[in-house]
Structure 1
């Protein structure tokens, strides 16, 4: 067992403490909180649980989310954007019937669980009251003919009264004995059965004595003395009492098998009929629509069978509609459900045919970062699994919508969007389209500014593909050079250095852009940092950049003034392979003379063998589709 702490802005002065196991589902944790809220009179309070910025889905376990002992979980109200409701009322005139909170099934399950727990509490109170009767029976048994029966009855009373657990339907079992409540009831049940048998046997034996004596003329002597008659009455009443207490103990033991959430859990993870959820989503009541969207998102996580059930019952169409709801909470849950459904390629095709892509691209403009991230995730599944569906993403200003998310999204969203751009660039037709548009290049440059290395890598790979298609769109970006050269100081990732170097090579091989490159004061420092690597390809790229700066005499003078030959010296002294050493050595010879006209690289030389668009620049590092959703 472990303890978890639940905090919520809706209850600023309370911290809830829950007990759970690592194998418990999030639905069971939510069920415990529903019980707590029920006692506070807030049984209709709809909420989600969030841990480390990630919303927790009902079907997953505590262990799945790596939640450990004493972790703090945030309880986030599902109706957390009241401003949107005011806007609806004032501007749109929508039906503001907020609905009745949780579904009837959930409410019924909650009330049924509360009833079971309250019955347990009341019955344990009555059961403890019976302990006093055991004590009285132990005292009275000393007055019988079998006085020694009082000894075992007294021992039974001491054990029963001291080990009996206490329970409250609000806080659960109390005290050390509460940990062994099941074991206690089993031991009590066995002992009480033994005592029941003994008392029954003694009562029958005394009854035979009385019948043998006959008690003629009601003379209470000998075998029909007052003590004998009293003993029969006592043991007869005692075995009936023990029998009743024994039945009660087994009833309590059966009740102890029930735990909070046993009934609620199955409704919270939606093993019930999906038609009810779809009908609730179509009701037009904002609160019920929000709850239905959340339930669909939770159901989609339970497996592919559930995903196909949602689609079969018309859930895709409903979710597309809910994604455009004026309530941002409903939008978020709908986007989350769509993203989960689109992990199945067969569902992606149907979703695209229904025009769902426009809903996702619209959600990229949301002010809520969670909505944007879920929409971007859904788009990433589409572009990574189907070439046929990619054109639908960029049609109808889709590229502009994706670029907007790249600029305004969170770090996690930017990484996903960078992956979407790369997958789109793998398509020849879309890549040609991107190479003649300014918007994608601007967005990719924005992504290159990210502090996340994976985002930078994906964006640079896309820019390289675009540069291969048409380098002019890269050249037209004013701050592109500053960003590429600045990577030397912002990261130590050699993979990013290589991508940046290959794009810089396009600048170096063009006379006009080479002059821009040589105008950068940090060029030498950046190239020097790139050259300090064990990657032979990166060393050759850097050497080629330096060699390209001396192919024009007017530019060669500037290159020599910047002492770019020092970079070649370093590469030659620390070459990772023979080709890198040869290129660096040839460049050093060129820098050693002032006659740049005479010593330009000639066709057939080792430096020219690299080619202006050599294999090292035409071979972008491909990203797996899994990187889109990392």
Structure 2
């Protein structure tokens, strides 16, 4: 696949490179180092970034889900202010960072020079081999002057095939030509052809010299069968043997050289891990630049394996990273928080981190002006709340809910999705759910998240609101903006799972007269319920019917329902119901809507009992009861969709 790389240090140039999905980020960085070498900028140090995420050298393009024709960004590694300007994408297009670079590490630079030397040698070897083919062409014609003139046929084939398939290569331009992709096959073919030609040439050479030594040519006198042709043939095939040996050796060297790809030497130095003790020392007492490099190395180590995570913790890494997470240098802060997010994926480490007060640090980091830092802090907090009920209290302690609300309003889409996931994990805990229900801030935050254009964020927020409604329906009904968001959902999304969640929450509004009036005053309520009713989900169709049933409990709203055309919604469900229960419910609700009977006299009874007294048929009454008893908010159906999230972790995608 083709990858485009841009860098504001080179405002008028876009780098183009190729990669395979399984290639590591270090491999592409190595290719870019070769390009910079040709520009005389090989000391330009950089990292790669994609969609706001710094790419780790040890990870592959598949890990980051980078597709063909993606655009990456070179992030120069220089003094903090210049780097931050690049990270925030506010640097002027003609700003040059080269003056602030400190050059490549010595091992990377030596590996780069070794690769350049290898490719220079390849260019010379290909040119020498082409010259050798001209010699083979000459020997092809000379073979017709020997006694074994018929050898011209296989010698000509050897030369013709070699001349046709020999690749063309230059260090700057690489391989070119229609046969360049067959370079390995070409080398193998050269080796096999050389061996095949070597056998007859060896036979002709040995037999020729034996004849010269034992026959009439023993005294170098030309009489009888001895002739100049005989001696020429023996000498010719002797020289040709040497030529074939040279061809075989050059083919073997070319085969070995062709197997070396760009980055083979550099990659291992880019992804190699430094000693944790050395990195920890730099992180504790180094200068700003050294701490930045140490934070990056710790993040890379933590990402590579679980063993490294435990080694970092054993060396006191949690305390060090917690301090670096509060650094004024945003680059250091970003890498430190990312390292913490990776380390905290281990449940046993989370307890130690929580006990040391690290959660308060992550909550403070949620106020960082860097979206990336805020996002990584949210991911770390999610790891804590998703794996342990005991640690959830630590997240909401000391105004933690307010911190989450800030991140939900200021964070990126991914950050908002993570915050919504955190809320969903929190509300599943009954004690925390009661605490959340006592404050209006979490509900306002969840309503705000419902406005997101990300369907996952909306789903998690709606699931959280549904669970909160079980604890306190008054809290949900107090969110006046929520009615419009729920009814607008079918106009913003095609996800029927979101429709079902929205319908279940709307039921709470429909059961209260004041909020039911607000629901019916919404301009497009009839259109929204119609779109809900057109769903392929019978549960959602039943929810729509139950919303209308609830409104029928209030006599003064009955005529309003008729004027709004709710009978058309019921008729549609009755005609297109997904099962018999849905048909029965729609039919009975339609009868109740069109009936002149006043249900208010049955105020002491439930909606189901009122309908039972109005209906003369016991079996229809039973059908209505069985159907209306399902899908209610808080029932098994209402919570089953929410429980699906417990199986889905909102972990990072860096991968």
Same fold at TM > 0.5: yes
Aligned-residue CA RMSD (Å): 4.6
Alignment correspondent of 1:624: 645
The farther-off stretch of 376-385 and 319-328 is 319-328
Structure 2 contact 27–263 (Cα < 8 Å) conserved: yes
Superposed, which structure 2 residues align to 1:525-604 within 5 Å? 525-533=527-535, 537-539=539-541, 541-549=543-551, 551=553, 556-563=555-562, 567=566, 570-571=569-570, 574=574, 578=581, 581=584, 585=588, 589=592, 592-593=595-596, 597-600=600-603, 602=605
How much has 1:432 moved relative to structure 2?
Answer: 1.5
After superposition, give the CA deviation of every residue in 1:111-166 in whole Å (9 maximum; x if it has no partner).
33222222222333344444455566667788889888888767655555554333
Instruction: Give the distance between the partners of 1:314 and 1:324, measured in 2 at CA.
Output: 17
How much has 1:320 moved relative to structure 2?
Answer: 3.7
Which residue of the other structure, out of 243, 250, 253, is the alignment partner of 1:251? 253
The change in CA–CA distance for 1:342 and 1:222 in structure 2 (over 3 A counts) is farther
1:408 aligns with 2:404: no
How much has 1:462 moved relative to structure 2?
Answer: 1.3
Instruction: Give the distance between the partners of 1:109 and 1:292, measured in 2 at CA.
Output: 22
How much has 1:436 moved relative to structure 2?
Answer: 1.5
Instruction: Give the distance between the partners of 2:347 and 2:216, measured in 1 at CA.
Output: 87
Instruction: Give the distance between the partners of 1:132 and 1:605, measured in 2 at CA.
Output: 99
Secondary structure of 2:175 counterpart: strand
Instruction: Give the distance between the partners of 1:225 and 1:120, measured in 2 at CA.
Output: 44
Instruction: Give the distance between the partners of 1:143 and 1:523, measured in 2 at CA.
Output: 100
After superposition, give the CA deviation of every residue in 1:210-269 in whole Å (9 maximum; x if it has no partner).
998568xxxx87799999999888776665565455433322322222222223333334
Instruction: Give the distance between the partners of 2:551 and 2:300, measured in 1 at CA.
Output: 59
Structure 2 contact 145–229 (Cα < 8 Å) conserved: yes
Instruction: Give the distance between the partners of 1:124 and 1:479, measured in 2 at CA.
Output: 73
The change in CA–CA distance for 1:84 and 1:426 in structure 2 (over 3 A counts) is farther
Structure 1 contact 121–167 (Cα < 8 Å) conserved: yes
How much has 1:351 moved relative to structure 2?
Answer: 3.6
The farther-off stretch of 79-88 and 343-352 is 79-88
Instruction: Give the distance between the partners of 1:491 and 1:158, measured in 2 at CA.
Output: 65
Alignment correspondent of 2:618: none
Secondary structure of 1:111 counterpart: helix
How much has 1:434 moved relative to structure 2?
Answer: 1.1
Instruction: Give the distance between the partners of 2:605 and 2:155, measured in 1 at CA.
Output: 112
Superposed, which structure 2 residues align to 1:159-170 within 5 Å? 160-161=162-163, 163-170=165-172
Alignment correspondent of 2:180: 178
Structure 1 contact 100–287 (Cα < 8 Å) conserved: no
Alignment correspondent of 1:29: 28
Which residue of the other structure, out of 382, 393, 396, is the alignment partner of 1:394? 396
1:39 aligns with 2:47: no
Instruction: Give the distance between the partners of 1:408 and 1:237, measured in 2 at CA.
Output: 80
Alignment correspondent of 1:377: 379
The farther-off stretch of 427-436 and 583-592 is 583-592
After superposition, give the CA deviation of every residue in 1:458-479 in whole Å (9 maximum; x if it has no partner).
2122122223223343344342
Instruction: Give the distance between the partners of 1:518 and 1:158, measured in 2 at CA.
Output: 86
Structure 2 contact 550–607 (Cα < 8 Å) conserved: no
Alignment correspondent of 2:470: 468
The change in CA–CA distance for 1:209 and 1:173 in structure 2 (over 3 A counts) is farther
The farther-off stretch of 520-529 and 361-370 is 520-529
Instruction: Give the distance between the partners of 2:583 and 2:387, measured in 1 at CA.
Output: 39
Superposed, which structure 2 residues align to 1:304-315 within 5 Å? 304-312=306-314, 314-315=316-317
Alignment correspondent of 1:94: none
Structure 1 contact 357–393 (Cα < 8 Å) conserved: yes
How much has 1:421 moved relative to structure 2?
Answer: 0.6
Instruction: Give the distance between the partners of 2:600 and 2:163, measured in 1 at CA.
Output: 107
How much has 1:393 moved relative to structure 2?
Answer: 1.6
| Consecutive unaligned residues in structure 1, runs of 5 or more | 89-96
Structure 1 contact 488–526 (Cα < 8 Å) conserved: yes
After superposition, give the CA deviation of every residue in 1:178-217 in whole Å (9 maximum; x if it has no partner).
33333333443455555474686378548847998568xx
1:6 aligns with 2:4: yes
Alignment correspondent of 2:347: 345
The change in CA–CA distance for 1:28 and 1:342 in structure 2 (over 3 A counts) is same
How much has 1:618 moved relative to structure 2?
Answer: 2.3
Instruction: Give the distance between the partners of 1:481 and 1:438, measured in 2 at CA.
Output: 16
Alignment correspondent of 1:479: 481
Superposed, which structure 2 residues align to 1:100-115 within 5 Å? 100-115=102-117
Alignment correspondent of 2:206: 201
The change in CA–CA distance for 1:331 and 1:158 in structure 2 (over 3 A counts) is same
The change in CA–CA distance for 1:326 and 1:222 in structure 2 (over 3 A counts) is farther
The change in CA–CA distance for 1:80 and 1:182 in structure 2 (over 3 A counts) is closer
Instruction: Give the distance between the partners of 1:607 and 1:516, measured in 2 at CA.
Output: 24
Instruction: Give the distance between the partners of 1:513 and 1:606, measured in 2 at CA.
Output: 23
Alignment correspondent of 1:91: none
How much has 1:314 moved relative to structure 2?
Answer: 4.9
Structure 1 contact 121–169 (Cα < 8 Å) conserved: yes
The change in CA–CA distance for 1:258 and 1:597 in structure 2 (over 3 A counts) is closer
Structure 1 contact 98–287 (Cα < 8 Å) conserved: no
Alignment correspondent of 2:362: 360
Secondary structure of 2:633 counterpart: helix
Secondary structure of 1:77 counterpart: strand
The change in CA–CA distance for 1:87 and 1:291 in structure 2 (over 3 A counts) is closer
How much has 1:426 moved relative to structure 2?
Answer: 0.9
How much has 1:363 moved relative to structure 2?
Answer: 3.6
Secondary structure of 1:37 counterpart: helix
The farther-off stretch of 73-82 and 139-148 is 139-148
1:606 aligns with 2:605: no
Alignment correspondent of 1:79: 76
Secondary structure of 2:453 counterpart: coil
Structure 1 contact 411–452 (Cα < 8 Å) conserved: yes
Instruction: Give the distance between the partners of 1:460 and 1:492, measured in 2 at CA.
Output: 15
Instruction: Give the distance between the partners of 1:87 and 1:334, measured in 2 at CA.
Output: 16
| Consecutive unaligned residues in structure 2, runs of 5 or more | 86-98, 613-624
Q: How many residues align?
A: 611
Instruction: Give the distance between the partners of 1:291 and 1:257, measured in 2 at CA.
Output: 33
After TM superposition, the score normalised by the length of structure 2 is 0.76
Structure 2 contact 205–235 (Cα < 8 Å) conserved: no
The change in CA–CA distance for 1:109 and 1:283 in structure 2 (over 3 A counts) is farther
